[in-house]
Amino acid sequence: MPSGVLVLDFDGTVCLGDAPVYEYAAAVVRRLPEAERPAGEERLHSALAGFFTGVRNPDLAEAPDGYYAVAALAAELGVSDADRNAAYLESRTAVHAGEVPIFAPPGLRDVLDEARRHARVVLVTNAPERGVESLLGILGLGEVFDTVRGDAGKPAGMGPILDALLEDAALRATPDRLLSVGDIWANDLAPAAERGCSTALIDRYGLGDGEPTHVAAAIVELYPAILNWARRGGAAD
């Protein structure tokens, strides 16, 4: 019987590749007035290229990932919140249709198969729930997760989801037997840390956010910590 709960984020955690972010940027450009699109496209692509290679402009210094960077840049270009949301959903439609390159971290399937021997494995993502299952198949991660929660509304929605998971698994007295893994402290890990759960942060950009139980630049570097936690019955190190 699984004695812990392993919670993972999707984009930037189990689904890698910068192409979906550029797809989001392209959808933002399509919402600019036609005369402004060439300059807007150049602005977005130049800033993202710098962002992903560690050369950030000051306006993006606090952005935790490429999606936040695009949202910030879109606001600078005068794109409304409604249009930014529509651009994001349009980009996700393309991703879900298999039109945008994505890939899973090497070895993740084996790690999660082993973790499932000791813990319930749950995916929690802000991405639209419709289509996530098909993406998991594209990534070679089909049927790995015991539960998939899309449209999570993190960070605000993460707390209630964690509370339900702790309750269902009878882990209120031992919350460190829930491990949350993700690449954005505020969204994926802060609500877990507030509840005494274990946390593992993928700090791709070296922001040093929060006080995670484990931290590394890439999820592959967290595999030993994840498996040690699982094999110890879901207890923190």
Residue 133 CA to residue 155 CA, distance in Å, equals 22
Instruction: Note down the domain range covering 156.
Output: 4-16+102-231
DSSP-derived letter for residue 185 is I
Distances (CA, A) of 70 to 11, 48, 81, 86: 15, 8, 12, 13
Parallel/antiparallel/unpaired status of strands 178-182 and 147-149: unpaired
Domain count within the chain? 2
Per-residue pLDDT reduced to its tens digit, 52-74:
988 888 889 889 999 999 999 99
- How confident is the model at residue 128, as a pLDDT? 86
Is residue 168 included in any domain, yes or no? yes
Residue 37 CA to residue 165 CA, distance in Å, equals 45
- How confident is the model at residue 56, as a pLDDT? 83
Residue 27 CA to residue 139 CA, distance in Å, equals 23
- Asked which of 51-65, 71-85, 142-156, 181-195 is least confident by mean pLDDT, the reply is 51-65
- How confident is the model at residue 236, as a pLDDT? 46
End residue of a domain, out of 96, 119, 142 = 96
HSE, CB side, 13 Å, CA atoms: give it for residue 42: 4
**Pair (193, 207) in one structural domain:** yes
Is residue 216 included in any domain, yes or no? yes
**Pair (88, 53) in one structural domain:** yes
- Residue 237 confidence class, pLDDT cut points 50, 70, 90: very low
Which structure tokens are listed for 101?
């390159």
- Asked which of 61-65, 198-202, 219-223 is least confident by mean pLDDT, the reply is 61-65
Q: Give 71's contacts (C-beta < 8 A, 6+ positions apart).
A: 84
Rounded mean pLDDT, 181-185: 97
Model-wide pTM > 0.95? no
**C-alpha dihedral (203, 50, 23, 217), degrees to nearest 10:** -10
CB atoms within 10 A of CB 185: 21
One-letter identity of residue 86: A
The neighbouring-strand residues paired with 230 are none
Per-residue pLDDT reduced to its tens digit, 106-138:
999 999 999 999 999 999 999 888 889 889 999
- How confident is the model at residue 59, as a pLDDT? 83
End residue of a domain, out of 96, 122, 140 = 96
Cβ atoms of 117 and 88 closer than 8 Å: no
**C-alpha dihedral (185, 129, 151, 53), degrees to nearest 10:** 40
Is residue 143 included in any domain, yes or no? yes
- How confident is the model at residue 57, as a pLDDT? 83
Residue 71 CA to residue 77 CA, distance in Å, equals 10
End residue of a domain, out of 77, 96, 115 = 96
CB atoms within 10 A of CB 97: 11
**Pair (218, 134) in one structural domain:** yes
- How confident is the model at residue 55, as a pLDDT? 84
Rounded mean pLDDT, 146-166: 97
